[in-house]
Chain A
Amino acid sequence: GQQLNQSPQSMFIQEGEDVSMNCTSSSIFNTWLWYKQDPGEGPVLLIALYKAGELTSNGRLTAQFGITRKDSFLNISASIPSDVGIYFCAGQRNNDMRFGAGTRLTVKP
C-alpha cells in the first residue's frame, strides 16, 4: 500500500534550534501518530492526534492534525542532543496503518 510522504528525509541542526517535519498523504486519515525511534529500539510514541485541526503539545514537541485530514506536522523547539533519532509519522484509516519513511535528526552541540 501507499506509504505516507514524510519530509525532510534528514536534518542537521545546531543545538537550540527549532525543527519542523511533516507528513502528507493523498488519503484521509482518522488518527495521526508521531514516534521517535532510537537505533536498535522500537518506536516510542510521542504524540497522538485524533481530530482534524487538533494541536497537541508534549513538552517541547507540538504536533497538529491537518484540517484536510491528509497531513500532519511535528515541531520540536529548542532542540537538545538527546533529540537525535528517527522520527516517524503514522496514519490510521479504518483498520489499516501507513507510515512515513522517517526523518533522521542530527543535533550538533
Chain B
Amino acid sequence: KAGVTQTPRYLIKTRGQQVTLSCSPISGHRSVSWYQQTPGQGLQFLFEYFSETQRNKGNFPGRFSGRQFSNSRSEMNVSTLELGDSALYLCASSSTQLGLGNTIYFGEGSWLTVV
C-alpha cells in the first residue's frame, strides 16, 4: 500500500511569491491534515480537511490556505511568502477525522526555503 506522497520535496521561493504544495493520502483515507515544522516552533498544526471540507484550522494567518479534492488529494497554498515561512511542511492522512481515536500517517514533507 503506497504511503502519503508529497510534492515537491524541495523548493526555493522569493519573498512575496506564492507556493502550492500537493499531498496524496494513503488510498482510502479521507482525512488530510497539514503541519509546519521549524527548529524554533516544532510541529504545528495548520488545518485538516475531510470530505473536501476544512474541519479545523490552527493559529496561522489567512495567507495559509488549502483545499481537498473529491479523490481526497489535497493542496496547501501560501501567498505573499515571508522569510519566516521557510520550513518543512508535512501532510498526514487518516481514515477518519482527527480526534476520533484514529492513527495518522505522515508523508516525507516538502522543504520550502524563502529567500
Contacts and interface: CB of A to CB of B under 8 A. Distances in A.
Q: Do A and B come from one complex?
A: yes
B102 A31 contact: yes
B56 interface: yes
Nearest to B111: A40
Chain B interface residue count: which class? 20 to 34
B99 A93 contact: yes
A101 interface: yes
Interface stretch (A17-25, A42-50, A67-75): A42-50
Contacts of B59: 1
A99 B43 contact: yes
A88 B108 contact: no
B98 A92 contact: yes
B45 A96 contact: yes
A72 to B, nearest CB: 14
B42 A101 contact: yes
A95 interface: yes
B91 to A, nearest CB: 8
Contact of B103 (A3, A48, A95, A99): A48
Interface of A: 1, 3, 30-31, 33, 35, 40-45, 48, 50, 88, 90, 92-102
